[in-house]
Amino acid sequence: VNNVGQEWAWNLHFLSPEFLTEHESEFIDLILQTYAEQGISVSRSKFLNAYVLGTIQMFVWGGGGLQFVMGNLQHRGLFETLIPDDPRCHSTTGDPAEQELLVAAEMTRRTFTNCCNIMQRHDFAGAWQRWRQQRDGRALDCNGPSTKDGAPATAAHAQLRKRQNAQ
């Protein structure tokens, strides 16, 4: 499921943020329906967990070239005039290298905006916490991480638990 959710996060994160926000649920329904029709059962909750965790990869990759793209835009005098969904991205005239930079900036904007929106809509922090628990083989309660036997995972968590239990 992780690869499936991650792949779809990758496929959808380049859409315009407004469009993805409006139609994301429909896309996910259709994706899950298509898998079911092919005899592959993927639960919505597992898909969404993998989908939201997959956004971190796009977030990191999107940031990887950001300084290069922004530096080149600034060098060409384009940075200050950028706007979301810049119409110059769709131009069929002008300098192809300039248009490539403008498209790169727009795709990076969509990446960051969509990743942040997906993370917020589908509780990235909770999914990340559950992933870490599973990876570390420990339970987590409202008083902080615990070891398998229920003891606080660190001295700081023991102090937190003691303070919360005293209240």
Range of the domain at 122: 2-136
Q: Can you tell me the mean pLDDT for 88-100?
A: 89
> Is pLDDT of 147 > 70?
no
Do 145 and 126 reside in the same domain of the chain?
Answer: no
For 91, the token pair is 């131009």
User: How far from the centroid of its chain's Cα atoms is residue 63's Cα?
Assistant: 12
Q: Mean pLDDT over all residues of the chain?
A: 85
**What pLDDT digit, counting tens, does each position of 114-145 carry?**
999 999 999 999 999 998 998 887 654 444 45
Do 124 and 143 reside in the same domain of the chain?
Answer: no
What is the number of domains present in the chain?
A: 2
Do 120 and 146 reside in the same domain of the chain?
Answer: no
Do 40 and 118 reside in the same domain of the chain?
Answer: yes
Q: Can you tell me the mean pLDDT for 41-65?
A: 89
Q: What phi and psi, each to the nearest 5 degrees, are found at residue 39?
A: 80, 15
Do 141 and 124 reside in the same domain of the chain?
Answer: no
Do 143 and 128 reside in the same domain of the chain?
Answer: no
Question: What interhelical angle do 44-64 and 124-136 show, nearest 10?
Answer: 100
Do 64 and 29 reside in the same domain of the chain?
Answer: yes
Do 64 and 122 reside in the same domain of the chain?
Answer: yes
Do 142 and 66 reside in the same domain of the chain?
Answer: no
Buried b (16+ CB within 10 A) or exposed e, 117-152: bbbeebebeebeeeeeeeeeebeeeeebbbeeeeeb
